Structure 1
Amino acid sequence: MIRPGWFSVRETGPGVHLLAEPGHVNSYLVLGDSFALLYDTGMGIADIGREVRALTGLPLLVVNSHHHYDHRGGNASLSGEAEEFAVHAAGAELHGSPAPREWLESYAHIARGLRERYEVFHAADSDAFFLTDSRIEVRPVPELEHWRIEAVRPTRLLHEGDVIDLGGRRLHVLHTPGHSPDGICLWEAETGLLLAGDTLISGTFFAHVPGADLPAFAGSTRRLAGLPVTTALLGHNLRHRETADFVSRVADAFERVRDNDTRPSRSADMFGTAVWRHDFDGFAVLTAFDEPPAVRP
């Protein structure tokens, strides 16, 4: 039984709501005059459609930032409600398979471990700093025996330069490969709002997973740093909202990693995969652990 409050929902800008699964994935609902757009649908652990319906009765468009399971987990629960499921054309075939049972079981184990670590952190925090509250509480993990992430066929393929008109606001599609070949950000030029998916996160950037491309990641983040961003909304972690300065620092970091201008440490990602970890101020970049990277003297 999933307890109420799995999502942390709040307005994070004019006509933009954060639908966070704290410690996991951040999805965003953007309201126009004629349509609402849901950017990513999260883990599929709880009913994201219920949260959307509580916020708007507008016709709904779903846009997945990329094909990874944790960003399309709620697609199936919206299949009777969403007008469209839009993805980048490079990811059309990548949406064709459900999440394998071993991935779900592995992630469930990770989620429970994350909650345990949060409890230790929260106990220490309550004695001194008071950084945490219910908005960013990593939720207890419900029973996940029947958790599934089904495949949902996209109904619309997006390309670089496409414009999604919601009525009164227009979102431009930016193809930003790097974390995955089909990554897209949505850019509202009039307000400087950037919906960034996993191209920008306030944690560990996965530049080592299948389909990741480090030079492309560096190019995509540098491109975003060239935009007049006022607000960047990020795909993961508790710090969901950042400024242009953060975007620029991420771009600088990726160029340093690409150019072997760091001193990485041996580490592992949350699934236990060996990686090189390149640490920066407030985030880290994980790269494939094959041969030791060349390091400038």
Structure 2
Amino acid sequence: MTGRRWFAVRETAPGVFLIAEPGHVNSYLVLGDDLALLYDTGMGIGDIAGEVRALTSLPLLVVNSHHHYDHRGGNASLLGVARDFAVHAEGAESHGAPAPREWLESYAHIAHGLREKYQALRALDIEAFFLTDSRVEVRPVPELRRWRIEAVRPTRLLHEGDTLDLGGRRLRVLHTPGHSPDGLCLWEADSGLLLAGDTLISGTFFAHVPGADVPDFAASTRRLAELPVRTALLGHNLRHRESGGFVVDVAEAFAAVRDGRTRPVVATDMFGTAAWRHDFDGFAVFTALRATTPGSPEGAGR
């Protein structure tokens, strides 16, 4: 399967392109006058390098929002294309290993199941609701027996407050732990644009997996809610774009989870892992079952 059939690409803000693997992960290409920045590289299933080069010939800086495989899967395809691979210094060592075969096989199974569920939803939708959008439908899954996510060593380490100058636009690095210790967002003050990675998503937040931390999530999202966000671009799900009001809602939700002010139920994530599920208006939060009180610090790892 070619990259063009796997990715859904469109301009989502001035000079910013969504490069989505619908139902899986969202990456974003930001164009400056002198430099392009690719925020995350996706699953490594399609040819994201080809997608980038179809949009720009500018020198390229790759920034990974965090070290998880689904956000750095395309790094290897960009070797020889990207000038630098930049990550938060907190997670540099976590980029040193490829994705294990067990994880790839598990995710391949999930991807096929996701496509089947989407087809069933789409069939019902066509009959009555007309809510889905064929431009961003969950794609058929290609043959994945040779799928690999290779390790690519970072060439640049980022820290809180660093400025990335693309020529004509400047993005500031925000260290936002919570989903993972090395999480980072990029903030463009001039436009009110926030590239959020997995610090903000429109589905279920994974605050129950090793490395995640609910109090950190609450602090990071509260910090983002204090910014004058006009547009937040999210790391997952078909609903990839939200306003500043959504950021405030997420911050309030994580404060409620942290403080034990929710009534969670036991549920399972896409990998079959049991967790507490805290539901809110338009999204949910998973926290670890081992917490003595749902949402307490000792139960909030990824």
Match in the other structure for 2:269: 269
Q: What do the CA deviations read for 1:104-123 (whole angstroms, capped 9, x no partner)?
A: 00000001100010011000
| 1:195 equivalenced with 2:218 (yes/no) | no
Match in the other structure for 2:49: 49
Closer, same or farther in 2 for the Cα pair 1:215/1:244, shift >3 Å?
A: same
Q: Extract unaligned runs of 5+ from structure 1.
A: none
Distance across 1 between alignment mates of 2:79 and 2:67: 16
| Counterpart contact for 2:233–2:242, Cα < 8 Å | yes
Secondary structure at 2:5 match in 1: coil
Distance across 1 between alignment mates of 2:117 and 2:212: 28
Match in the other structure for 2:154: 154
Match in the other structure for 2:298: none
Distance across 2 between alignment mates of 1:161 and 1:291: 33
Distance across 2 between alignment mates of 1:123 and 1:278: 29
| Counterpart contact for 1:3–1:142, Cα < 8 Å | no
Distance across 2 between alignment mates of 1:136 and 1:82: 27
| 1:180 equivalenced with 2:167 (yes/no) | no
Match in the other structure for 2:63: 63
**Identity over aligned pairs, percent:** 77
Secondary structure at 1:246 match in 2: helix
Q: What do the CA deviations read for 1:162-209 (whole angstroms, capped 9, x no partner)?
A: 000000000000000000000000000000000000000000100011
What is the total number of aligned residue pairs between the two structures?
295
Match in the other structure for 2:24: 24
Deviation at 1:130, TM superposition (A): 1.6
Query: After the TM superposition, which residues 26-41 of structure 1 pair with which residues of structure 2 at under 5 Å, given as runs?
Result: 26-41=26-41
Query: After the TM superposition, which residues 240-255 of structure 1 pair with which residues of structure 2 at under 5 Å, given as runs?
Result: 240-255=240-255
| Counterpart contact for 2:76–2:151, Cα < 8 Å | yes
Match in the other structure for 1:131: 131
Secondary structure at 1:180 match in 2: coil
Match in the other structure for 2:169: 169
2:220 partner amino acid: S
Q: Extract unaligned runs of 5+ from structure 2.
A: 296-302
Match in the other structure for 2:5: 5
Q: Cα RMSD (Å) of the superposition?
A: 1.1
TM-score scaled by length of structure 2? 0.96
Distance across 1 between alignment mates of 2:3 and 2:245: 38
Match in the other structure for 2:300: none
Query: After the TM superposition, which residues 113-124 of structure 1 pair with which residues of structure 2 at under 5 Å, given as runs?
Result: 113-124=113-124
| Counterpart contact for 1:164–1:172, Cα < 8 Å | yes
Segment drifting more, 204-213 vs 3-12? 3-12
| Counterpart contact for 2:2–2:47, Cα < 8 Å | no
Segment drifting more, 219-228 vs 123-132? 123-132
More helix by share: 2
Deviation at 1:257, TM superposition (A): 0.2
1:178 partner amino acid: G
